[in-house]
Amino acid sequence: MSGYRAVRSADGTAIAYDCAGDGPALILVGGAFSFRRYKTWVQLFELLAPRFRVISYDRRGRGDSGDALTYAVEREIDDLYALVQAAGGSAHTFGMSSGGVLALRAAAAGVPIDRAVVYQPPFSVDASGHLPAPDFGPRLRALAASRNRGATAGYFMREGMGVPRALVGLLRVVRPIWRDLEAVAHTLPYDYAVMGATVHGKPLTREPWASIATPTLVIDGGKSPASLRLAADALAGLMPNAERLTLARQSHNLDEAARAGAGGVPT
């Protein structure tokens, strides 16, 4: 993958993307820590290109995309709309984690998404899983503003995702991986904003999910925490045109999720 294209979002921000393949347009929407040149994201892009015209983009603030002085989820929805327009006016989406939630928020806002696949939406719908502290958001934003990307990444993983401290320490030692995580750590408050009030152990509200008519496949991994299965069940239960799938031996595995997702988005 060499070179890239770019579209201008509504606020003038340049959004970088790669495009390859033939068939229906499919936009990959990454979650926290992802960007379009991340190794597993490239593998996903290549896996899907034989069946789709795949668009893989850097969410604002990441990779080759620009950013604005202030952030709003609505601007990321505008970014996705600009990409859909570049794809011909409508597209399918495959969204990973908070990226899947972003794609659904875009569909609720009127972005013309034909079909959506959402892999492991990281909602917390009860108190059974890890819950961030009430002051998690302000502390995360303060760390990101300090430009200490290592501290920001570590805090998000430990306090936001519930990753054990020892595992975070191990990841720090694996420099190629940690460098990739640090590269986009300053945008982690964006993912927290996309999730909104859905990560604090309360049942999902009906809206906006119940108003999304887009046919959607909601997937979780069988090796993932039970709290994520409850989240996927809750989302699918609210959406009028949703189907559910569990990948029995998978957790946050992009390739297997993509295989299932490709099967659930008809050409």
Say yes or no: 235 and 104 in one domain.
yes
What is the three-class DSSP state of 14? strand
Determine the distance from the C-alpha atom of residue 162 to the mean position of all C-alpha atoms in its chain, rounded to a whole number.
Answer: 18
Say yes or no: 100 and 82 in one domain.
yes
Distances (CA, A) of 153 to 40, 96, 140, 149, 168: 19, 18, 9, 6, 9
- Asked which of 171, 194, 217 is the last residue of a domain, the reply is 194
Say yes or no: 152 and 35 in one domain.
no
What is the three-class DSSP state of 114? strand
- Render each residue's pLDDT in the chain as its tens digit; 267 residues: 557 899 999 999 999 999 999 999 999 999 999 999 998 899 999 999 999 999 999 999 999 999 999 999 999 999 999 999 999 999 999 999 999 999 999 999 999 999 999 999 999 999 988 999 999 999 999 999 999 999 999 999 999 999 999 999 999 998 888 999 999 999 999 999 999 999 999 999 999 999 999 999 999 998 888 999 999 999 999 999 999 999 987 776 555 555 554 444 433
Say yes or no: 172 and 62 in one domain.
no
Give the residue among 162, 153, 154 at the shortest CA–CA distance from 225: 162
Range of the domain at 207: 5-124+201-264
* pTM of this structure: 0.93
Say yes or no: 253 and 183 in one domain.
no
Distances (CA, A) of 134 to 159, 199, 201, 202: 11, 10, 11, 13
Say yes or no: 152 and 243 in one domain.
no
Residue 131 included in any domain: no
Say yes or no: 107 and 148 in one domain.
no
The answer to whether 192 touches 140, Cβ cutoff 8 Å, is yes
Distances (CA, A) of 198 to 50, 140, 158, 182: 35, 17, 18, 25
Q: Quick one: pLDDT at residue 44?
A: 92
- Asked which of 148, 179, 194 is the last residue of a domain, the reply is 194
Residue 154 included in any domain: yes
Domain harbouring 61, CATH code: 3.40.50.1820
Say yes or no: 207 and 118 in one domain.
yes
Number of domains in the chain: 2
Spatial CB neighbours of 16, under 8 Å, sequence gap ≥ 6: 4, 5, 6, 36, 57, 58, 63, 64, 65
C-alpha dihedral (127, 95, 191, 40), degrees to nearest 10? 100
Q: How far apart are CA 192 and CA 156, in angstroms?
A: 9
Say yes or no: 102 and 228 in one domain.
yes
Say yes or no: 212 and 106 in one domain.
yes
Radius of gyration over alpha carbons of the chain, in Å? 17
Query: What backbone torsions phi and psi does residue 59 show, to the nearest 5 degrees?
Result: -60, 155
pLDDT in tens, 181-201: 999 999 999 999 999 999 999
